[in-house]
Chains A and B, each alone.
Chain A
Amino acid sequence: MVNKEVYRTLGLSDVEYKKIVDILGRDPTPTELAMFSVEWSEHCGYPRSKNLLKLLPKKGKFRTLIGEDAGGIIVDNIAIVFKMESHNHPSQIEPKQGAATGVGGIIRDIFTCGARPIASLNSLRFGSLQGPYNKYLLKGVVDGIQFYGNCIGVPTVGGEIYFDESYSGNCLVNAMSIGIADKDKLARARAKGSGNLIMYGGSSTGRDGIGGCSVLASKEFKHNEEKRPTVQIGDPFTEKCLIEATLEAIATGHIVGIKDMGAAGLTCTTSEMASAGNTGMDIELQKVPRRESDMEPWEIMMSESQERMLLCVRKGKEEVIKKIFKKWDLNIAVIGRVTDDGIVRIKDKGEIVAEIQAHSLTNAPVYDIAYKEPAYLKQINRLSLSKISEPGDCNRVLLQLLSSPNIASKKWVYEQYDHMVQTNTVVLPGSDSAVVRIKGTDKAIAATTDCNSRYCYLNPHRGAQIAVAEAARNLVCSGAEPAAVTDCLNFGNPEKPDRFWQFKNCVEGIVSACKFFKLPVVSGNVSFYNESPKGAIYPTPTIGMVGIIDDTRRICTQYFKEESDIIVLLGRNKEDLGGSEYLKIIHGLVNGDAPRLDLKLEMSVQQAALESIRKGLVNSAHDCSEGGLAVALAECCISGERIIGAEINLNYNFRSDVLLFSESQSRIILSCREESASKIRDIARKHGAPFRIIGRTGGNKLKILSKKITLVDLSLRDMHYKWTDSLQSLIQA
């Protein structure tokens, strides 16, 4: 008999417990209770978010693959599979292993589909680097990503890092991975065919992360110490062998289904594979390879030991699969078989310890959650420019912004990642988006992650729309057509109505923007309870986006290439200082509304830029984001291998800070040869995109004038030094 305290500790409500008793027609065994608790947790069953997530669009220009471990699109004969997932709470407790196992988990989701992982990205958020624990977290997370990513030989090609106090006490580690496969050779995550065998491959099972998924992910944690033993350890060497063994096994054609053991390990794989195939499964736990001899059945079912796979193998072909796994020195064992009664039956030494309808495990109850507009919004949306003093020296302000860790070069980080292995990386980290070519074709994949969570804090709906628009803009700047989205939704406690309001509005923002741009959301992940005793994080709906480049000769990067090129601005400069990096860094304010976003204008600017790049007219393209026009221009000058200056002549009646640092959306800076400018003008006119020639490249300074008054006059060397060295100095200070 189970008492209240036990199921409540496992995260189940009284109503849910009653429902379980109704489903089973009896009291659950401890193993069954544990299985329900993880399958019905937010991490696996999405009971709180499902109603909103189903609004996300599923169709776009390319055929989509949705519903397996990772989603994707089909381009010609190639399936491009990708997904982003959070590993926030484990990283906050043990940054190196937390981040490492995050990378390992997302990569397993990719090769489980039969796709070879070809690139990783990650979106990281920490509290201010003034705090020693935040610094420890950043170093540990970067160390974990390099430790795991470099060893398995999947290049870490891009991502983003932001710092804000709201993440102090709850950092975010969102890892994204992309893989490719022949479209006819994808694997499914299901068990089918009564009598087929269920095999276990990979590392042995230990007590790692037991209950991690329900306990770690469902409580605001105040006492890290107690939860420490549930952290898992990553073994990238085994995972590298597992990638090769899995892909070899799938290539035999004998694999009916396969799923990686991530959150909730065996519970999740057995029930979800059976449910997806409308079958059942008989499992004998004694056959599971294990590290510790005295494990309880529920411990084996809950273990989150890493680098493990569950395979459904055609009867009679088990020796073929065994041979492949043994070649790679990996454990492989038949642990059960597929049945046709729809029941997941778990035995220990022949004795049944759990017997549950697979569907009842995987169909978690779905809740409508109460929501309420947060009280802080009215207060914080006020912004009166007249109360903000205009800077006397814009040079100093620009240098300060270039040194802000949110804007400064992330070289210290990405140089620790092997971003070139697999010899596909055409655009290295440090430009608007990363580009990897697809060997054997003329095509390439561009990828980026994006979210300005400060905008989402000020205006969740529009902030989320901007995240989508900006990700698309980043891809366009590399010459790619935006194709599909994965999202990683990081929010506070959904049981608090103001937090859930943020979630609801962000999801609706993503839905509306993705529908407008015809971008399907093919995969994703929800991470709730991102809170520390100080409160919730900023709402952070991280957008991972993938775009397609048709011709590898037409790839563009953000930095100026030649002297005497014409500099063009597509889009409009407006007064949008709300939520800007300028207000935060220079005036210490997080106020105002998020920048305005006109989706039609955004589309016209992107189409004009993309067509110009694809016609070979553009030498560089860079989007204006944090820090506004001045920072974007500075980056065009200093972020390339060769640094090139520019002189910009503007003609506006704005205040200097508005003109230089406003974060108006839908702006792209292009550079081109003199003779291409008029062709770009025609293309812009065709799409209805505002076009303006704003200056010329050349020299060893960045000069920005408005109405003939010099606002910025800085040497490239000074800007380059500040931008390149700031992050490292902050970390090492």
Chain B
Amino acid sequence: MKFGVVVFPGSNCDQDCFYVVKYVLKQQVRYIWHKDTQLNNYDCIILPGGFSYGDYLRTGAIARFSPVMKPLIDFAHKGKIVIGICNGFQILLEAGLIPGVMLRNNNLHFICKDVYIKTENTDTPFTNLYKHDQILKIPIAHNEGNYYIDNKGFNNLEANGQIVFRYCSIVGDTAGEFNPNGSIQNIAGIVNKSKNVLGMMPHPERSSEKLLGSLDGLNIFSSIVRWIKSH
């Protein structure tokens, strides 16, 4: 099984994702330069966090036009696995692979801290090793994580079970006070309609080793491995 981590100019979590896949998960992984267009050999592609093109203009807006994106969209349309983390999520939104947009955090600051998220759908390639409603401690680190979608779009997400993670308290309360950035209905991560593309703001690669304080994110990567092996 082979993972690919896309490197855009300004990506800065590419090496972190690479490290987790290679040394923690012990799977094959390669970097994919944003000008590469050959994606046939990969089973899963990770769009990592960072500040692609400095977040200039709008987060993800320029990266979305990188040469790798067209084949990546085809890759996703074929049902292959794509996960966008943080800036990767923002790029997926700009590319239209996942519905919605990202606004600035409602406190207008960058926020870096551990948050708790609740697993609302375990029937996806990314969450099949979690229990329903399992609470995960995973850090966020972003300026623009305030996810927004109109009412109709939101109803669709809900009806299709596309909402995978919501911000919550340590015991799973999803009240507004546990929402760090103002995202609609505490959304922290969603999948596309066919559930093979996940975008999430929290960084699972930062919570995949005991030494770093939490192992809760590792099962996202392990779930992917399990799903691909069984398909």
| A contact residues vs B (CB 8 Å cutoff) | 146, 150-153, 235-238, 240-241, 328-329, 414-423, 425-426, 428, 437, 439, 552
Contacts and interface: CB of A to CB of B under 8 A. Distances in A.
A423 B110 CA distance: 18
B212 to A, nearest CB: 6
B56 A237 contact: yes
A419 B111 CA distance: 10
Interface of B: 9-10, 12-13, 15-16, 19-20, 49-51, 53-56, 109-113, 139, 141, 143, 203, 205-206, 209, 211-213
B111 A416 contact: yes
A419 B112 contact: yes
A423 B10 contact: no
Contacts of A240: 9-10, 12, 51, 54
A641 B138 CA distance: 14
Which residue, A240, A419, A422, A423, has most C-beta atoms of chain B within 10 A?
A423
Contacts of B213: 426, 428
A417 B112 contact: yes
Contact of A328 (B9, B50, B51, B109): B9
Contacts of A153: 12-13, 50-51
8 contacts: A151-B10, A151-B54, A235-B54, A414-B112, A416-B110, A418-B141, A420-B112, A426-B213
B51 A151 contact: yes
B212 A423 contact: yes
Nearest to A444: B211
Mostly, the B contact residues are mixed
A150 B19 CA distance: 20
Nearest to B13: A421
Contacts of A236: 51, 54
Given A153-B50, A416-B109, A423-B16, A241 B211 contact: no
Contacts of B111: 415-416
Contacts of B143: 150
Contacts of B109: 146, 415-416
A237 B212 contact: no
Contacts, number: 80
A235 B13 CA distance: 19
B55 A151 contact: yes
Nearest to B205: A423
Contacts of A152: 12
A298 to B, nearest CB: 31
A421 B13 CA distance: 7
A422 B19 CA distance: 10
A241 B10 contact: yes
A150 B203 contact: no
**6 tightest A-B CB contacts, nearest first:** A153-B12, A237-B54, A151-B51, A423-B16, A418-B141, A418-B112
A426 B211 contact: yes
Nearest to A415: B113
A626 to B, nearest CB: 25
B11 to A, nearest CB: 8
A552 B209 CA distance: 13
Nearest to A156: B112
Contact of A439 (B13, B19, B53): B19
Contact of B211 (A238, A414, A552): A552
A417 B143 CA distance: 10
Nearest to B35: A327
A704 B217 CA distance: 41
A237 B113 contact: no
Contacts of B16: 421-423
A328 B13 CA distance: 17
A422 B20 CA distance: 11
Given A235-B54, A422-B15, A329 B9 contact: yes
Given A150-B143, A152-B12, A415-B111, 4 more contacts: A151-B10, A420-B141, A420-B203, A420-B206
Nearest to A641: B114
Given A416-B109, A416-B111, A439-B19, A426 B10 contact: no
A351 B54 CA distance: 39
Contacts of B205: 423
A417 to B, nearest CB: 6
A420 B141 CA distance: 8
Contacts of A419: 112
Contacts of A416: 109-112
Contact of B51 (A150, A329, A425, A426): A150
A236 B53 CA distance: 10
Contact of B12 (A235, A414, A417, A421): A421
Contacts of B53: 237
Contacts of B12: 151-153, 240, 421
B110 A150 contact: yes
Nearest to B203: A420
Contact of A423 (B50, B113, B209): B209
Nearest to A437: B211
Nearest to B209: A423
B143 to A, nearest CB: 8
A328 B50 CA distance: 16
A56 B19 CA distance: 40
Nearest to A149: B110
Nearest to B111: A415
Contacts of A439: 19
Contacts of B211: 426, 437, 552
Contacts of B15: 422
Contacts of B49: 421
